[in-house]
Structure 1
């Protein structure tokens, strides 16, 4: 159980770092160049990020927290379940419902960089905050094992 809890914590940490990095450096860096260049760069990023390592972290974090919740005793189980729920709502659902459709709109030329960047970054920052909250909840679960 301890190994699963540590893996869960690591997955949440990596996911938090990914979202944080986009909001704090990638998007500001892209905003500092011309819109056409930024759009081209973001299209490339959106294609390259879809790989097994992303899926491992993106899907693995909430699933690992859920499994840890089922295997842990109270009160740790509740913290793991809370971490899974926050991650699922704030990371997975926001990604599927908002960020990915915006990526698709940018890719199809249906959204300009000026419209895309502030909205996408705002929602991504929410994903970062939710992921950090999930990380903290999982950490509390780990301490309560």
Structure 2
């Protein structure tokens, strides 16, 4: 159980770091260059990020927390379940409902980068905060093992 809990912690940390890096460096960097170049760069990033390593972290975080919740005893289970829920809502649902459709619009050329960037970054920051909260919840769950 401890190994699964530590894997859950690492997955949450990796996902938090990924989203944080985008909001704090990638998007400001893209905002500092010509919008046409930023659009092309973001399109490339959006294509390249769809790889097995992303899916392990993105899907693995809430799933690992959920499994850890089922395997952990009280009170740790509650914290792992809470981490799974926060991650699912704040990362998975926000990504599927908001960020991916915006990525698709950028890719299709129906949303200019100047409209895309501030909205995308705001919602990415929501994902960052949710993942950080999930990371904290997993950490608290680890203390209850």
The TM-score with structure 1 as length reference comes to 1.00
Which residue matches 2:79?
79
Which residue matches 1:16?
16
Counterparts of 1:1-145 in structure 2, within 5 Å, are 1-145=1-145
How far residue 102 of structure 1 moved from its aligned partner, in angstroms, is 0.1
Counting matched residue pairs gives 145
Task: Please report the RMSD computed on the Cα atoms of aligned residues, expressed in angstroms.
Answer: 0.2
Distance 1:76 1:69 in 2: 7
Distance 2:52 2:141 in 1: 27
How far residue 80 of structure 1 moved from its aligned partner, in angstroms, is 0.1
Distance 2:102 2:53 in 1: 22
Distance 1:53 1:119 in 2: 26
How far residue 136 of structure 1 moved from its aligned partner, in angstroms, is 0.2
The TM-score with structure 2 as length reference comes to 1.00
Q: Which runs of 5+ in 1 are unaligned?
A: none
Kindly provide the CA deviation profile for residues 35-79 of structure 1, in whole angstroms up to 9, marking residues without a partner as x: 000000000000000000000000000000000000000000000
SS where residue 91 of structure 2 aligns? helix
Kindly provide the CA deviation profile for residues 70-103 of structure 1, in whole angstroms up to 9, marking residues without a partner as x: 0000000000000000000000000000000000
SS where residue 110 of structure 1 aligns? coil
After the TM superposition, list the runs of 4 or more consecutive aligned residues in structure 1 that deviate by more than 3 angstroms. none
Distance 2:16 2:112 in 1: 27
SS where residue 136 of structure 2 aligns? helix
